Amino acid sequence: MKKKIIKFKYKLIKKLKRIKEEKLISNYFKDNKLFIVYVLVCVINSTLLRFFTMPTMENYLSFKPIIADIAVVTIIGSFSYLFKGKKRYVYLLVWAIIFTAICTINSAYYTFYTSFASVSMLSLTQYIGEVGDAVVENVLQIKDLVYILPLIFFIYYYHRLAKNDQYKIYTKDKRFKKFKNTILTGAVILVIFIVTLSSLEISRFVKQWNREYIVMRFGIYMYQGNDIVASIQPKITAMFGYDDAKKEFTEYYADRTDEQNYTNKYTDIFEGRNVIVIHAESMQGIAINRTFNGEEVTPNLNKMIKEGLYFDNFYSQVSVGTSSDTELTYNTSLMPTQSGTAFVSYFDRTYISTPSLLKDKGYYTFSMHANNADFWNRRAMHESLGYDKFYSKETYDVDDENVIGLGLSDKEFFAQSVEKIKKISEKHDKYYGYIITLTNHTPFSDTDKYGEFPVTMKTTITNEDGTQEEVEAPYLEGTKLGNYFKSVHYADEALGEFFNEMDEAGLLDNTVVIIFGDHDARLPRSEFNLMYNYDPVTDDIKDEDDPTYVDYDSFDYELDRKVPLIIWTKDGKVKGQIDYTMGMYDVMPTIGNMLGFYNKYALGHDIFEIKDDNIVVFPNGNWVTNLMYYNSQKGEYKLLKDEIIDEDYITKNNEYAEKLLNVSNKAIVFDLFNPNSEEEANNKTVSKEN
Ligand code: GP9
Ligand code: MN
């Protein structure tokens, strides 16, 4: 009997406790409605952003970033309880707006760069105005505005609460108690999140260079917070970490000789010749040797390819600095910086560059580009790179009739440039010119100015009655990819005219021409699928069961981002197709060998020495060799040859890539090519101590 009573008592207590707990929870919800809606709005937005930008099963099933988001917004939101009356709502609203803005900006940014935004790029927003149309047309889409809807709901919800007298006004004690409990809850959730992290996740979070990976594991809010720290960090480390950086840098180059220690069949073959470099905007490998109905997209480049040296496995290595990153890597054989861009953040450093080394050999060096001189901070950075003169927009006659896309049309730009080069050649017996084109820039929408170039597909079909009929299917007409080919066709025509005019003026006789695409054209992958799998009869993508269907995956897309590189002389001194995998950072050592200069600190190699052993490292840590493309973001790869590869190969290349990126970044941030850098670093430390 006694036992029964005890059991009953125990059951009763448990029940009462449960009722109390349930009441507690329901009371909590009743008492904190606005706060809960705020948390939901912010977490829903960040989750939507991840789903829209990285639609993978792994991402859909991942709870970690949601826990991280809840922790961040709860901790930040907890401070709202310290505010009296309506101010609590205002505080939450401000943060809800900030979080929504983070999602909207990142959504738009991802469309453009396939990456997440960094505050270190804020100093570059002045350039966005310049490419404003391109950005609006390309980037801002309805999906980027979806994040505003939950925010509107939050505002509406507050007003409903206020109208129905349900917006709580707490006493001072209650407010402080609520703040304490909420921040504690946030902290507990944060601890739960942290203990689930692996060491790899922690190390990648600290480095912050693999942005997709971080957002996928840590959520967008933690990523952005970490990004702020990471963006300020270079400025602080530039003050403090000098000794370690110098040590790592010295060790990295310890095995290098001060003078070039080899010769090959290309050594000094172009010594003393003039050099004309064409930095061809968005010229992507897919355009080369492509035809539409028998018409070549790039007849002029194709001709030069046949007459000169053509590198058909050549990749640009750009980060967020796009054109400017290529200018850095081409000119210095260094990699783009891990935060911000070298052109904007580190223009005041010392660089060992192709123009400066050629200047030492008596060359006059110049660059030409018909855009605003401050775009990408070129005015300052081209000087740091050793160009004697930068011919920018103000030195060209630009009138409305001659404008296509972002500015002066390539045809007009080249025509005026030839006149300038004529004058330069009269004054200087050796010159090196770096010429940057502009027309072939995204969004490729000025199609009526590119000239006729149909991107249709003509084909013969057999009718049911056996008769044959020629049809012209629309194919790529009306797509961005199609418009791109029209734009490239124009850019190629402009190049053809340029070389004709140069030749007529006798300016090609003793000249080496180097042409390369500066980076890919950021074209949608879905349209590549259409290009490779188009069925002109149905005017649609072929069925996947079709035996001619080409499986086009994300690796194929990465590999298709390659760009052309051509070295050409009128006398045909060099010829042939080079298939070695090569990157923008290999150009300086390769042409250095040909022109007779050497840079001990080049990160790339003379391609004719390294040949098939080369590795092209990308700023995000991905890399490609002749055997595989490795995606370090996802830890996945695609084999490019029928060769089995062991884990060791991947580990070694990953280490190589990481080291190279690190050394390159430190060399720039700490100004390690500056002979006085040590002294300057010491001065900074001393003045800090004072
Ligand atoms: C701007 C042009 C384009 O002057 O070089 O720059 P991008 O958008 O390709 O970096
Ligand atoms: Mn560019």
CA distance 598 to 589: 7
Q: Looking at the structure, do residues 472 and 362 belong to the same domain, yes or no?
A: yes
Q: Looking at the structure, do residues 206 and 283 belong to the same domain, yes or no?
A: no
Please give the distance, rounded to the nearest whole angstrom, from the Cα atom of residue 323 to the centre of ligand 1. Answer: 5
Kindly tell me the sign of the dihedral angle through the C-alpha atoms of 650, 651, 654, 656. negative
pLDDT higher than 90, residue 160:
yes
CA distance 75 to 363: 61
Ligand nearest to the CA of 124: 1
Please give the distance, rounded to the nearest whole angstrom, from the Cα atom of residue 599 to the centre of ligand 1. Answer: 27
pLDDT higher than 50, residue 584:
yes
In a domain, 653, yes or no: no
Q: Looking at the structure, do residues 73 and 190 belong to the same domain, yes or no?
A: yes
Listed in sequence order, the residues at least 6 apart from 223 whose beta carbon sits closer than 8 Å to its beta carbon are 116, 211, 214, 215
Please give the distance, rounded to the nearest whole angstrom, from the Cα atom of residue 660 to the centre of ligand 1. Answer: 26
In a domain, 626, yes or no: no
In a domain, 316, yes or no: yes
| Residue nearest (by alpha carbon) to ligand 1 atom 4 | 371
Average pLDDT over residues 221-230: 89
Atom from ligand 1 closest to the CA of residue 371: 4
How many distinct structural domains can be found in the chain? 2
Q: Looking at the structure, do residues 491 and 531 belong to the same domain, yes or no?
A: yes
Q: Looking at the structure, do residues 219 and 297 belong to the same domain, yes or no?
A: no
Distances (CA, A) of 292 to 148, 531, 542, 569: 44, 11, 19, 29
Q: What pLDDT is stored for residue 376 in this prediction? A: 85
Look up residue 336 and give its amino acid: P
End-to-end CA distance of the chain: 83
Q: Looking at the structure, do residues 203 and 289 belong to the same domain, yes or no?
A: no
Q: Choose the final residue of a domain: 591, 609, 627.
A: 609
Q: Looking at the structure, do residues 229 and 303 belong to the same domain, yes or no?
A: no
Ligand nearest to the CA of 371: 1
241-253, pLDDT tens digit by residue?
A: 889 999 999 999 9
Average pLDDT over residues 231-237: 70
Q: What pLDDT is stored for residue 217 in this prediction? A: 94
In a domain, 230, yes or no: yes
Strands 403-404 and 407-408: antiparallel
Atom from ligand 1 closest to the CA of residue 378: 4
Ligand 1 environment, Cβ below 6 A: 131, 281, 322-323, 371, 375, 436, 438, 441
CA-nearest of 372, 450, 319 to 128 is 372
The residue range of the domain holding 197 is 32-240
Q: What pLDDT is stored for residue 689 in this prediction? A: 47
Q: How sure is the predictor about 133, in pLDDT bands with cuts at 50, 70 and 90?
A: very low
Name the more confident of 227 and 416: 416
Q: Choose the final residue of a domain: 551, 578, 609.
A: 609
Helix (H, G, I), strand (E, B) or coil at 468: strand
| Residue nearest (by alpha carbon) to ligand 1 atom 9 | 323
> What are the strands, taking DSSP E only, across 555-609?
565-569, 576-578, 582-583
Q: Looking at the structure, do residues 198 and 314 belong to the same domain, yes or no?
A: no
Query: Structure tokens of 220?
Result: 């967008």
Q: Residue 548 maps to which CATH number?
A: 3.40.720.10
In a domain, 194, yes or no: yes
Of 88-97, 197-206, 215-224, 329-338, the range with the lowest mean pLDDT is 197-206
577 bridge partner residues: 310
Neighbours of 103 (CB within 10 A): 28
| Residue nearest (by alpha carbon) to ligand 1 atom 6 | 323
CB of 348 closer than 8 Å to CB of 550 = no
Q: Looking at the structure, do residues 437 and 305 belong to the same domain, yes or no?
A: yes
Atom from ligand 1 closest to the CA of residue 372: 4
Average pLDDT over residues 290-306: 98
Q: What pLDDT is stored for residue 688 in this prediction? A: 44
CA distance 53 to 116: 9
Q: What pLDDT is stored for residue 141 in this prediction? A: 76
The per-residue b/e assignment along 642-661, b for 16 or more CB within 10 angstroms, e otherwise, is: eeeeeeebbeebbeebeebb
Query: How many DSSP H helices and E strands does the chain contain?
Result: 26, 22
Q: Looking at the structure, do residues 184 and 310 belong to the same domain, yes or no?
A: no
In a domain, 441, yes or no: yes
The per-residue b/e assignment along 459-495, b for 16 or more CB within 10 angstroms, e otherwise, is: eeeeeeeeeeeeeebebbbebbbbbbbbbbbbbbbbb
In a domain, 636, yes or no: no
What letter does residue 492 receive in the DSSP assignment? H
Q: Looking at the structure, do residues 60 and 209 belong to the same domain, yes or no?
A: yes
Q: Choose the final residue of a domain: 562, 582, 609.
A: 609
Determine the residue of 113, 518, 519 to mutate for testing ligand 1's pocket, defined as the one with the most ligand atoms within 8 A of the Cβ atom: 518
510-522, pLDDT tens digit by residue?
A: 999 999 999 999 9
Listed in sequence order, the residues at least 6 apart from 515 whose beta carbon sits closer than 8 Å to its beta carbon are 277, 278, 280, 283, 301, 304, 495, 564, 565, 566, 568
535-557, pLDDT tens digit by residue?
A: 999 999 999 999 999 999 999 99
Name the residue with tokens 């990456």. 115
In a domain, 672, yes or no: no
344-386, pLDDT tens digit by residue?
A: 788 889 999 999 999 999 999 999 999 988 788 898 899 999 9
Q: What pLDDT is stored for residue 139 in this prediction? A: 53
Neighbours of 427 (CB within 10 A): 8
Neighbours of 674 (CB within 10 A): 15
Please give the distance, rounded to the nearest whole angstrom, from the Cα atom of residue 667 to the centre of ligand 1. Answer: 25
Helix (H, G, I), strand (E, B) or coil at 527: helix
Residue 53's φ and ψ, nearest 5 degrees, are -85, -35
Ligand nearest to the CA of 405: 1
Q: Looking at the structure, do residues 43 and 140 belong to the same domain, yes or no?
A: yes
SS3 per residue for 1-40: CHHHHHHHHHHHHHHHHHHHHHHHHHHHHHHCHHHHHHHH
Q: What pLDDT is stored for residue 132 in this prediction? A: 47
638 bridge partner residues: 629
